[in-house]
Structure formats: C-alpha cells, structure tokens
C-alpha cells in the first residue's frame, strides 16, 4: 500500500446536499443540525444552497437558516449556487466560499440546470469574475465525473477538458462528483490521471456516493494517489433530485472511523459526530444508512 497522508480535510455536506433530497425539514431543525456539526471538529461545512425554491423547495429558507446558525470560529462555511443570481444572494448573505456545479454529462446538465454543459461553462466564467470582484472564491464541482445515469460512462478526457476550461477561467478549486455512485477504484485512478496530465498541481476534492457500496474503497484509492480533501454527509444523508437511483453520500462517520483507524487525522470527534448523526436521523424521521451509526465504532465493547 502506498504511503497515506497524515491528515485529510473533510467537508461536511449534510446540511445542504444531505437535506435537499429529503422531505422539507423545518428551519429550526436545520439550524440545530448545522450547529451540532459545527461542534464536531469538522473544519469545512457546506451550509446551504441559494437555488430557486421551485427547483429545490428544501432549500427555500437558505437565508433564514444561515442568519440563525451559529458561526463557529475555525470552521469554513460554504454555499452552493446555481448561477450568478444565486451567487449574488450568497455574497449578500456574507459567504466568502461559493461552489457551482457543472455536469460532465450533457444530458445530466440539461436535467439538472436546463442547459447544455457548454452553456453552463460560459455562465460559470462570468460568475467567477463576479465572485472574485467581491473578494470571494469559487469551487467548480464537476458532477457525473465517474459516470452518468442517462449516458453511461463518461470519458475521463471530457472531465479533464472541463477542468482545463474552468481553471483557465479562474476557478480557485475543482471537485469531482460521483453523482450516482458509479465510481470504482479503477475509475478514480483514470479520472485523476487524465486531470493530472494537464493540471498536475491542481488541488482536488472528491465527492462519493455509496450507492453501490464502493465509496470507502474509492476514498482509499484516492488517498493512495495523494488526494487529501473529501466530501461526506452525516449519517449518509443525500442524493440527487435529477439523477435516478442516486442514494446517499458516503457517511461522514464511516469515513472518519476508517481514517482514524489507519492513522490519518481528520480533527473530527467521532462521538460528537455520531451524536450529530443521531440528530439527523431524528430530524428526517427515518433510519439512515450509516453502518457506524448502527454498530458504533470498532472500539465499542458489549
């Protein structure tokens, strides 16, 4: 096994990506979850998204959630935006880290954003300029990087070409989304190799779903390839409203549990995280798929 990094950065996406696929949750409950996660030691949280309420009604109260949430020192909060109008709302709310999504699959992009991938890339170029003028940063998330439920396999070269374009347009960071859990370790290697061929030094973040049970294997593969930033969602909450079969994200507590046992630090208190996962389960009113939430950490004794 290749040497692993001593530390990784986990971005908790439960409050946004996790809740967008659930029945609408009361604002107060969203704030409780966001505040609980802020106290786990996680240093990055995707808090809300500024999308049109008709598109994602679960995020209609983004401004109110953010206004009422506790902002813990040392935690970097970000917001997802679909376009320049959403970016303006996020900036007005005080966010300095924004994320915008474009799909490597043209079909998924049209289902998700009602436009072609090429059209989205043109809009993102203008959005980046606007956000930079406001003193904030933009991360471009390339959805369906490892496969599309409509088109099937997505060529790694296409993912790499999108990265080349958004970096040329000024993107500060890039991330790769495994939108419906189609990634496997082989595909992780292929996508990273294609991207690094032309962009060897670009910092990347990987976002895996556990739809087919490969998320932790994919993370381990990425670790061996030097990736140190990952998304995860408390309890395994999440999915994609515009991707059939997109079940939950990889559970944050499962990632933390594995990494800590391998000597890789995350800065996260696993017991506090499990408390937050139990809260998430209470809020959504159903059992969440996290195995560590069910069984507890491997150190637990009967």
The DSSP line for 24-66 is PPPHHHHHHHHHHHHTTT-SEEEEEE---TTT-GGGTTHHHHH
| Whether residue 106 has pLDDT greater than 60 | yes
Q: Where are the domains of the chain?
A: 9-290
Strand partners, 232: 12
Q: Report the pLDDT value the prediction gives residue 240, as an integer from 0 to 100.
A: 59
> Residue 20: helix, strand or coil by DSSP?
coil
Residue with tokens 């802020």: 38
Nearest to 35 by CA among 70, 65, 62: 70
Q: Give residue-wise pLDDT tens across range 223-277.
A: 999 999 999 999 999 865 555 555 689 999 999 999 999 999 999 999 999 999 9
The angle formed by the CA atoms of residues 205, 210 and 213, to the nearest 5 degrees, is 125
Residues 6+ apart with CB under 8 A from 126: 84
Kindly list the catalytic residues: 240
Residue with tokens 């809020």: 283
Q: Give residue-wise pLDDT tens across range 145-168.
A: 999 999 999 999 999 999 999 999
| Whether residue 301 has pLDDT greater than 80 | no
The class that CATH gives domain 9-290 is alpha beta
Look up the pTM and report it.
0.95
Separation between Cα atoms, residue 16 and residue 19, nearest integer Å: 6
């Amino acid at each position: 096994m290749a040497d692993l990094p001593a530390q990784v950065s986990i971005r908790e996406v439960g409050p946004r990506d996790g809740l967008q696929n659930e029945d609408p949750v009361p604002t107060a409950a969203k704030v409780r979850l966001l505040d609980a996660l802020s106290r786990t030691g996680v240093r990055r949280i995707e808090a809300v998204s500024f999308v049109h309420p008709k598109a994602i009604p679960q995020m209609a109260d983004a401004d109110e959630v953010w206004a009422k949430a506790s902002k813990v020192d040392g935690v970097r909060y970000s917001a997802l935006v679909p376009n320049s109008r959403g970016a303006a709302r996020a900036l007005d709310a005080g966010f300095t880290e924004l994320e915008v999504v474009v799909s490597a699959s043209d079909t998924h992009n049209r289902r998700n954003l009602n436009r072609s991938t090429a059209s989205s890339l043109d809009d993102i170029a203008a959005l980046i300029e606007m956000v930079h003028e406001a003193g904030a940063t933009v991360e471009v998330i390339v959805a369906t990087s490892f496969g599309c439920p409509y088109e099937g396999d997505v060529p790694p070269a296409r993912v790499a070409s999108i990265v080349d374009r958004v970096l040329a347009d000024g993107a500060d960071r890039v991330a790769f989304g495994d939108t419906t859990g189609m990634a496997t370790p082989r595909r992780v290697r292929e996508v990273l190799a294609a991207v690094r061929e032309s962009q060897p030094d670009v910092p990347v973040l990987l976002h895996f779903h556990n739809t087919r049970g490969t998320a932790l294997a994919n993370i381990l593969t990425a670790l061996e390839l030097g990736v140190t930033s990952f998304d995860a969602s408390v309890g395994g909450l999440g999915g994609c409203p515009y991707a059939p079969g997109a079940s939950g994200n990889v559970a944050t507590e499962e990632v933390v549990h594995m990494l800590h046992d391998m000597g890789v630090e995350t800065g996260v208190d696993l017991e506090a995280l499990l408390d937050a996962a139990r809260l998430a389960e209470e809020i959504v009113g159903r059992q969440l798929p996290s195995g560590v939430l069910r069984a507890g950490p491997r150190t637990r004794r009967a």
